[in-house]
Amino acid sequence: MVKEEEEGVAVSENPEERKLTDLPGIGPGIATKLESAGIYDLMGLAVMGPSALAEIAGVGEGVARKAIQAARGMLNLGFIDGSEFERRRKDVHYINTGSKNFDALLGGKGVESRAITEAYGAFGSGKTQLGLTLAVHVQLPKEQGGANGKAVFIDTEGTFRPERIKQIAEGIGANPEKVLKNILVARAFNSDHQMLLLDRIGELIKEGEPIKLMIIDSLTAHFRAEFSGRGQLADRQQRLNRYLHQLMKLAEQHNIVVYVTNQVMANPAMMFGDPTTAIGGNIVGHASTYRIYLRRGKAGSRVAKLIDSPNLPDNEAQFFVTTKGLRDEGAEE
């Protein structure tokens, strides 16, 4: 059902309050189709191509092009100066890790929203523990280093443990049962399921869930298992690329912190130094805003090394995994 373009129809002046049905050629029936495909707002439609929109909505490319142009006009997409960009970034929030050393490595406040933070390392290096700690800390008020919101945990390796969440919650004096209620967990059984869950997150946000953190543990496990060998490498990288772009889109549109863990392999070409290399190649490396290498240190410590960042220098930080989550040396157990 295509809505004829109407003159004199009053629509909100605020782009964030406008609906898909405010666009020419988009009626309730087409809006429902778009929502089923994960397109819930003007931004989601504005960044589509005419052919993709035409296929999803079942309309001609001319109608699709007109709707896209209208959405882009309402959103005023284009160039802005650096000062305006800085002003728009003032709503970026951070989630503290529990370790002041680790937070300092990331600029002093913790893990940033509207960005993808990737942690890779061998098993036991603290990747999952960081994710579980963030899932608890996101529920803290902003003045305490949280985001006053809920977390989504996409589990591809069976690593989510409610009892561990309760330990960390008790460590910050929070109600363990309430904290668990505010973490939405989904077990992804293959890469298709993993990708489908991103659409479900968009639906949850539309339904009013205050999701401020997405955790994927791990990002590459299913892709690595299902696409093996050089013959399938190109297909794997294309799917990974599409998945990461969807993640970044959700992070940008809804001001969400995205934390992903990544598996590693040993690089046989490395004659000297640490041969540990992250899975996913340049696709994952370029998509991650912050890239952190985790490894075991001395005396039960863990070491986080910042490998890549758009604004921070390469550096290292030492932390410990305790019953209360991530802590610094000498911090109370």
Q: Cα–Cα distance between 248 and 253 in angstroms, integer? A: 8
H-run or E-run covering 150: strand 150-155
Whether residue 3 has pLDDT greater than 50: no
Q: Are 147 and 138 in contact (CB under 8 A)?
A: yes
pLDDT band of 10, cuts 50, 70, 90: very low
What are 55-74's pLDDT values in tens digits?
988 889 999 999 999 998 88
pLDDT value for 1: 39
> Could you report the per-residue pLDDT of 137-165, keeping only the tens digit for each?
999 999 999 999 999 999 999 999 999 99
Q: How far apart are CA 84 and CA 56, in angstroms?
A: 34
Domains of the chain, each with CATH number or no CATH: 15-75 (1.10.150.20), 89-327 (3.40.50.300)
Among residues 104, 168, 78, 99, the alpha carbon closest in space to that of 132 is found at 168
Instruction: Report the DSSP beta bridge partners of residue 296.
Output: 302
Q: Residue 6 pLDDT > 50, yes or no?
A: no
**Burial profile 119-142: b = 16 or more Cβ within 10 angstroms, e = fewer:** bbbeeebbbbbbbbbbbbbbbbee
Q: Would you say residue 4 has pLDDT above 50?
A: no
What does the alpha-carbon distance between residue 116 and residue 240 come to, in Å, rounded to a whole number? 14
Least confident of 13-17, 160-164, 225-229, 316-320: 13-17
